[in-house]
Amino acid sequence: MQRILIIGASSLVGTQLSLRFRGNHSVIGTFDKHRPYIDGISLIKLPLRMDVDWAALLRLIKPETIFYCAAERDEKLCREQPIHALAVNAEIPASIAACAESLGIKLVYFSSSKVFSGEKGDYEEHDSVDPISHYGTSKVRAEELLGNYPGVFVLRLGTVYGLGPVPSRSLYQQRRDQVLSGAPLALVNDEWRSFQSADWVAEASEKLLASDPKLAGIYHLPSATKETQHGFTTLLSLSLSIPPAHVQPVSGEVFSHTHQGGEPRGRDCSMRGSLFQKTFRIHPQSTAKYLKELASRLNGGRF
């Protein structure tokens, strides 16, 4: 059993980590504006600011591992408030990393495929980063700062879907509502991403928790296939036994400067996760299988 601190337990990823870890570990989670209702974990309201005394807090909580799930992911906000985005996404986790290192605590940070422009696709860990959005730039800055602390494990995620406490931040919950409404839905079919179930992120994180604590550096989370928003939503529709006729394909060019808060979008930000698979020897299921599980979980009234 480990003592685990999840910073941002109210996030989509943090919620799924909390649910997975709570049976076997002692879990302390933080939130700010959205208190998650998760039995079996301790919760602390903790607005992330530059002046938090992390050394004192970590000495008090005494975690063995920290998962930093907090982030400013709103692309428009990242552009309009770059100092805030840099603080939450990069500088605060770097301050935590400094304290964690001196106290012998493992830190896991979630980065993003948006560190890449999407010009190439199928990115490997050794590919050079070349972000095109403010959010992506803040994640690159985080990776640079965290690179000063050799014990930090950085896991880059693609597009994560699943059930979280804030539906407006959950791609799955938004798309599911749209599909159930039956209204025509035009979705991009020529921009590729690694779609990853939050359950898979939690399973991989659990494997990481059980592994050699000295493992560190940057890894890509594998995904079974790459999908477009159109392809993903077609699978989602089928998982709900709804014929996907109203899910229409459109080119991403139609949406330029209207979606993603006007920030540029990459053509193919998909990532390969061969280093992760080689190290941890676990493989994701297909997107269709995860979506079927989510649909049956929701039918059974489970979160």
Ligand X SMILES: NC(=O)c1ccc[n+]([C@@H]2O[C@H](COP(=O)([O-])OP(=O)(O)OC[C@H]3O[C@@H](n4cnc5c(N)ncnc54)[C@H](OP(=O)(O)O)[C@@H]3O)[C@@H](O)[C@H]2O)c1
Within positions 35 to 54, which residues make up the interface with ligand X, using CB under 6 A? 47-48
Q: Which of these ranges, 32-40, 184-192, 209-217, 250-258, lies near ligand X under the rule CB under 6 A?
A: 32-40
Contacts of 60 (CB under 8 A, 6+ apart): none
User: Which of residues 115 and 247 has its CB atom nearest to ligand X in the complex?
Assistant: 115
Residue 94 — φ and ψ, nearest 5°?
-70, -40
Residue located via tokens 């709804």: 242
Please, what is the minimum distance in Å from the beta carbon of residue 119 to ligand X? 19
Structure tokens at 192: 């590729």
User: Which of residues 166 and 242 has its CB atom nearest to ligand X in the complex?
Assistant: 166
User: Which of residues 157 and 208 has its CB atom nearest to ligand X in the complex?
Assistant: 157
Contact pattern for ligand X over residues 146 through 175, marking x by CB under 6 A: -----------x-xx---x-x--x------
Count of residues interacting with ligand X (CB under 6 A): 26
Distance CA(193)–CA(204), nearest Å, equals 19
Structure tokens at 141: 């800055």
Q: Which of 12, 17, 19, 202 binds ligand X (CB under 6 A)?
A: 12
Please, what is the minimum distance in Å from the beta carbon of residue 70 to ligand X? 4
Q: Which of 25, 73, 106, 134 binds ligand X (CB under 6 A)?
A: 73
Q: Which of 17, 41, 66, 70 binds ligand X (CB under 6 A)?
A: 70
Contacts of 280 (CB under 8 A, 6+ apart): 204, 207, 208, 211
Contact 222, 284 (CB under 8 A): yes
Contact 193, 257 (CB under 8 A): no
Q: Which residues pair with 42 in a beta bridge?
A: 28
Within 10 Å of residue 235's Cβ, how many Cβ atoms? 21
User: Which of residues 44 and 245 has its CB atom nearest to ligand X in the complex?
Assistant: 44
Q: Which of 72, 75, 191, 227 binds ligand X (CB under 6 A)?
A: 72
Q: Which of these ranges, 66-74, 209-217, 257-265, 295-303, lies near ligand X under the rule CB under 6 A?
A: 66-74
Closest CA to 65 of 15, 28, 99, 106: 106
Q: Which residue is nearest to ligand X (CB)?
A: 11
Parallel, antiparallel or unpaired: strands 65-68 and 185-188: unpaired
If binding is defined by CB under 6 A, does position 13 make contact with ligand X? Answer: yes
User: Which of residues 14 and 231 has its CB atom nearest to ligand X in the complex?
Assistant: 14
Structure tokens at 21: 């870890």
User: Which of residues 78 and 247 has its CB atom nearest to ligand X in the complex?
Assistant: 78
User: Which of residues 184 and 275 has its CB atom nearest to ligand X in the complex?
Assistant: 275
Distance CA(120)–CA(155), nearest Å, equals 20
User: Which of residues 10 and 234 has its CB atom nearest to ligand X in the complex?
Assistant: 10
Within positions 91 to 120, which residues make up the interface with ligand X, using CB under 6 A? 110, 112
**What is 8-71 written as a DSSP string?**
TTTSHHHHHHHHHHTTTSEEEEEESS-----TTSEEEE----TT--HHHHHHHH--SEEEE---
Question: For 192, which DSSP code?
Answer: B
Q: Which residues are near ligand X by CB under 6 A? A: 8, 10-14, 31-34, 47-48, 69-73, 88, 110, 112, 157, 159-160, 164, 166, 169
